[in-house]
Amino acid sequence: MTKIKKQIRLFFDIREGESKKVAYMFFLIFFLIASLLIIKPVRNSLFLSEIGVSKLPYAFILVALFSAVIIALFSKYSKKFHIGRLTRAVMDISILSLIGLWILLHFGIETKIFIYVFYVWVAIFGVITSMQFWLLSNYVFTIREAKRLFGLIGAGGISGGIFGGYLTNFLAPIIGTENLVLVSASFLFICIYLGKYVWVHYGRKNYSERISKTIQLESSEKKGSSFNIIRKSKYLTLFAGIVGISVLVSNLVDYQFNMIVSQNIKNEDELTAFFGFWLSNLSIFSLLFQLLFSGKIIKLFGLRTSLLFLPFSMLLGSIAVFIIPVLSSALLLKVSSGAFKQSINKSGRELLSMPIAADIKNRVKAFIDVFIANIATGLSGILLLIITIGFDFSVQQIGLISIFLVLVWTVLIYKIKAEYIGSFRTAIERRSINLDEEQLNLTDADITGSLLNVLKSDNKNQVLYVLNLLENFKSEKLIPHMKRLLNHRSADVKTAILNMLDGFSKDEFYAQVLELMNDKDLNVKINAISYLYNNSDNPEKLIEEYIHSGDPQIKIAVMMCIANSYREGAELWENAKLERLFDSVFSEESIKHLSPDEADTMRIYASNFIGISSYPGLFPYLYKVMESDSAEVKKSAIKNMGETCSTEFLSTIIETLNDRKLQKYSREVLAGYCDGAIPLLVERLQDKNEDQSIKNAIPSILGRIYSDETTHALSDNLLTGDRTLRFEMIKSLNKLKTRFPEIDTNTANVNIAIIEEIEYYYNLSAILGVEQRQKIESDKIETSTTSSEARQLLVSSLKDKVENTLERIFRLLGLKYSSSAMYDTYLGIVSNNTKLSEDAIEFLDNILSHKLKQYVIPIVETRDSEQLLRNAKLFFGIEFKDEEECISEMLNGDDDWLKTCAIYLASTSDISKYEEKVKDYLNDSDPVLRETATLALNN
């Protein structure tokens, strides 16, 4: 790594392995916003030159109406498609729309309806592409990465805005307004490539796990409407009021600005260039103000001042326009509105959302940002129509309305400050701020005091909670608290402080951390040596001093430090030296003097070392520790095999799927390989000689990996004769279908499997009917307890098999229709609630094809077993005259347990009738079936 790259990474806190995805995401939003900032000036100039500023209020109303509807529909239906495909679809539709727009402009088709549609389309395009980008970001970055890197990623958007605006200013006079549309479209083509690369390499592997959490969160968030939550909270009502009135004033300012600009610039290309130039200027001003002043202003003057900056600056601009309604005054008004809105005001708004409880924040914030903002946009259009058409207000008089609204805005800000402090204190006490989603800045004196007081608490959990909130904050105010907490009795608190020390002067903490190398807790030692290593003038000497310690914990801590250093590319650790150090600490010779438990601990950390460093020269050690008698040592080895991401371990991990103690860990690790494990898993699934327990475990792993390959592997093998394996595959396909409704299954196989399971259901029902009749008759005359028990076992087993088959039928129907709807229907059918059952049957009657309906409806409607037997004969020609035919049918079937029950029953009477068939199972792979056959023939 070059020194320049290292400096860039250190400056932006980009860690090992993050550089490439940060670069791709930076340029993705760069070109997205650049495209938007090209098309926006085109829209504005086209509207003003062809329609006129007087019609702008109608555009505001249309934007409010259509954007609310389309964004709501988009949010609803976007859940049916995975984010990678959705992002591509949005880009494709946007490019086609822009090309269509260019064709219309090129041939002079500039009707009023078209221009209105274009105006609304650009507004919606800006919102949806932004939503898509940040949604994709949530799957590309972990929550911790997002906290560190979203600021840098966001700077890519501002940079793209600057570039797009200035490019528009430069190109508009040269190539004309209409051709800028093609430039905008070309940027979206670049976005397609960037988005696809990011999704394939970084987003897709996180999607399955995260989407399931999202589904759970959404289901838990359905309690109570957003409107009612806001209405019942004074704080949220004030928050919504501030957002609404800010949008209202901004639209009035936009109208004034556009009116003055249209009066001074008449040429369409000049208008486009002007808008492009000033949109870029706004972006630059916003960026510089955010970087240089926003943080300092909030720290010095607090939240209230940060929120007052925008209304006061707009007040000054409105007064300037009222006194001198010229272009320079309009520019002052627009700069005060646009620049502060995206810098200090945005920071203030984010602080306002901090005390809102995590379980309602997503919905309430979305409701305010979308619904309330759209209402305000619509109201601004209606207000402008009233005062411009009804009262014929001039641009100066409109300014008076803005001034009045700014005063109302100011009152709301003063009222919300007291509510904010109270809400924040309550949130800290209840620990309702979501540590996984929030990053706190010490920007308000009152909040700072509240947090620092908590750090003095004796409650360890509260201290840890606040430390997590302050994880990435660097302030000298924290130093005395951090020094004190390094001596805290809790190892967790000390570890949390050690993780926060980066960025502070080593002179403040180095000596104190050095003492922690004698702490009793291993995690404290691991984090302490990591800090010392990163801040030492001679890290190699430091390692040499501690590696020969007599304390096994210190040796482990040193080796974990070396592993992390090696992974990050440190030149200090050559391969030979790494192997030598590993052997000196973790070899069996080095740990033979330890107790068995201590030795196993060393083996576990040896595996961790290999997992972290991913050094291939040490891979043989992982195979060796898999021979250990300790399950914990094996679990660690499996986990760290996965950490290396090396496909050479796949076969070894797959072999552990038949070990109940290890199966859970093996499944998680194999699912974490994502696409890398799929080919071998599919190969083992299709192998006729594979251990059945391993085969049965594979579908659930494939079901956790979203890809076309896993979907095809599961659906292509649906017709397996092993119904237990088929059930596992169906359940995994159901999970994939629920999360990703657009998955493409093998429709032909699904249809065949549905009919097979329906026929099997009737077959089992027919056998069950015969056996139940036989049981009733036998109970009247038989005295043999063994025979009665054998028949009862068979009847119970058949009932279980019938129920399982019915569930398989409905799960298969879920692959053809809706997985969740079909499973809910199944639960209604098997419930004891008559109304639910009737509703479920009615649903099936309306949704199933004619062919499926004739088979399925009789199953769920029929309560009469005799009618079920008649249907079995009618539909599939299934009929059994007596128990002997039933036993023969089961012995020739594919269910080992039913074969076992049938042999057991036959052995209580005359086994000779079935002797030849039973002999086939003397060497069967199923131990229970094999033993039952042997006992039956011997008796």
| pLDDT digit string, tens, across residues 489-522 | 899 999 998 988 887 887 888 889 889 899 999 9
Is residue 763 in a domain?
Answer: yes
Spatial distance between the Cα atoms of 83 and 31, rounded to a whole number of angstroms: 19
The Cα-based distances of 824 to 594, 831, 835, 843 in angstroms read 57, 11, 14, 11
**Which residue did the predictor score with more confidence, 311 or 291?**
311
Over residues 677-683, the mean pLDDT reads 88
Q: What does the pLDDT read at residue 525?
A: 92
| pLDDT digit string, tens, across residues 315-368 | 887 787 777 777 777 677 677 676 677 667 776 776 676 667 655 665 676 677
| pLDDT digit string, tens, across residues 890-939 | 999 888 999 999 999 988 887 888 888 889 999 888 899 999 999 988 87
> How many Cα atoms within 13 Å fall on the side-chain side of residue 144?
7
Is residue 761 in a domain?
Answer: yes
Q: Tell me: pLDDT of 634 over 90.
A: yes
Q: Which residues make Cβ contacts (< 8 Å) with residue 518, sequence separation at least 6?
A: none
pTM of the model: 0.60
pLDDT band at 429 (very low <50, low <70, confident <90, very high): low
CB 259 within 8 A of CB 313: no
Over residues 55-75, the mean pLDDT reads 79
Mean pLDDT, the chain, rounded, equals 80
Q: Tell me: pLDDT of 211 over 50.
A: no
Q: Is the dihedral of CA 705, 711, 716, 721 positive or negative?
A: positive
State the first-to-last Cα distance of the chain, in angstroms, to the nearest integer. Answer: 78
Over residues 427-436, the mean pLDDT reads 57
Cβ count within 10 A of residue 692: 14
**Which residue did the predictor score with more confidence, 197 or 354?**
197
Residues of the chain with pLDDT > 70, as a percent, come to 83
| pLDDT digit string, tens, across residues 250-290 | 888 877 777 787 777 777 677 777 777 766 777 777 777 76
Is residue 450 in a domain?
Answer: no
Give the total number of structural domains in the chain. Answer: 1
| pLDDT digit string, tens, across residues 158-188 | 788 888 888 888 888 888 878 888 888 899 8
DSSP of 156-172, one letter per residue? HHHHHHHHHHHHHHHHH
Is residue 811 in a domain?
Answer: yes
Q: Tell me: pLDDT of 1 over 50.
A: no
Spatial distance between the Cα atoms of 628 and 606, rounded to a whole number of angstroms: 13
């079935």: which residue's tokens? 914
Is residue 742 in a domain?
Answer: no
Q: Tell me which residue of 448, 403, 862 sits closest to 870, measured CA to CA.
A: 862
Q: Is the dihedral of CA 833, 838, 843, 845 positive or negative?
A: positive
Q: Which residues make Cβ contacts (< 8 Å) with residue 756, sequence separation at least 6?
A: 719
Is residue 496 in a domain?
Answer: no
Is residue 871 in a domain?
Answer: yes
Q: What does the pLDDT read at residue 806?
A: 92
Is residue 712 in a domain?
Answer: no
- In which domain, by residue range, is 857 found? 747-938
Spatial distance between the Cα atoms of 555 and 2, rounded to a whole number of angstroms: 31
